[in-house]
Structure formats: C-alpha cells, structure tokens
Amino acid sequence: MAEQSLRDNIARVYERIDAAKRRAGRTDTVTLVAVSKTQGADNVAAAYREGLRIFGENRVEEAGPKAAAVAALVAPSPLPQWHMIGHLQSRKAAAVLPWAALVHSVDSAKLASRLSRAVPPGQQLPVLLEVNVSDEASKDGFAPEALAAAVETIVELPGLRIEGLMTMAPLVEDPEETRPVFRQLRLLRDEMARQYPAASWRHLSMGMSDDFEIAIEEGATLVRIGRAIFGAR
C-alpha cells in the first residue's frame, strides 16, 4: 500500500474516532487497534512509521513471526504492542505469551485455565472476556446469561487479570443496527463491575471498520480496525 494512502486512511480513521467521541460527549481515551491479519511485516512497519503502535492479530501461527519481523524493521524504535483478537484454541494458549500484551478473545473457562497455567509465576496476562451478545451460532464467546458464573471462576485464576469485555456485532447493512449489541455489552460490563469489583473492567473492545463509530458512542475503549486502514484484503 502506498505510504500516502496509508497516511490518509489513518488520518481519516482518527478524525472519525474524534467525531464519534464528540457526539457522545466523551473526553476519555479510545485506543485504535490496527488489525494487521494477512498484512505483511512491511505494511505493518509502514503503519508503525505513520504513528500506529498497537496491532491486532487473529492467528497465533502468523503473529509470532510477524512480530519478530516488524521488530527488526522498526529497530531501534520502541517495539509495537500486539494484541490477540481472534479465536484462540486452548491447546495453543501458551503460544500467545511471548508476544501478546492483551488477549481480547477469552471465550471459555477452559481457555482461561490454560492461559493461567501457562503464565510464569509472578506475572499477569491482561485479558478480555468475549461475549456473544448477538447469540450468533457462527461466533464464539460466553452467552450473556452465563457470563457471571464464568467470571466467578476466572477472576480467581492466578496469572490472569480481567480488564473488560469484547464482542463482535453482526454484519448488517445499516451500522445503526449494531447499537443494541454494543449497548448491551456496556451494560453487562457495568453489572460485572458491580458484582466483581476486584477486576478492572476498564475496557470494552467493540467496533470494527463498518461500525466503530456506533461502538464509540456506546462506550468502546478499544476499536479493532483493519480495512479502513489497510484497504480491502
């Protein structure tokens, strides 16, 4: 992707983030996670040079080597931060630890337990719990009505630090139709914060290229944006 196009895309995304915050009357921080799945290390390094610092990956097999390649390309600058945003199989849980600063997609107590066992003693891995708010069979995540019971177990696991919730809205023609999904996640987060105040609950990871403005209006603190930055894959 041409550097000027990438620069323009990033600027437009930040403008849209700021406009959505203004509409919602928000003055807090909304963090952009650039979804770099399928993007080569050169493209990610170019985005880094344009000011992006946090990248989201979907596949463990792709992320580790890419993180190493990007680190070499941007050296001696500070390393970018990498987030695991895709479905993570329990048997691959330990593979995210060398590179993931935050796992957005803890979608089962089994995965949480595997991650907990893999974290070295004395360390903590920040995680978000994925909720299938829209109840789609094609999506992973806890059912909203099962979330509290899962939190009760996960909050006690050593090595994990719950920092909030994540969801994916349905693919719809009108982004406004995603609003109830994002609103429900925010309400769920607020309820979990009341029931389990020992956890942080500071993050709501929701919103992608087609609907991130609605997500911000409903309280998103992390937006996962790929196509609007890098173009269609």
Q: Long-range contacts for 4-7 (Cβ within 8 Å, ≥24 apart)?
A: 5/231, 6/43, 6/46, 6/47, 6/50, 6/229, 6/230, 7/50
Q: Give SS3 for 89.
A: coil
pTM: 0.96
**What does the pLDDT read at residue 232?**
78
**What does the pLDDT read at residue 3?**
74
Of the options 3.40.30.10, 3.20.20.80, 3.20.20.10, 1.10.1060.10, the CATH number for the domain spanning 3-230 = 3.20.20.10
**What does the pLDDT read at residue 137?**
82
**What does the pLDDT read at residue 10?**
97
Per-residue DSSP letters for 11-50?
HHHHHHHHHHHHHHT--S--EEEEE-TT--HHHHHHHHHT
**What does the pLDDT read at residue 4?**
80
**What does the pLDDT read at residue 127?**
98
> In order along the chain (233 residues), what is the average pLDDT of each group of 10 residues?
86 98 97 96 96 97 96 96 97 96 98 97 97 89 97 97 96 93 98 96 97 98 97 78
**What does the pLDDT read at residue 1?**
61
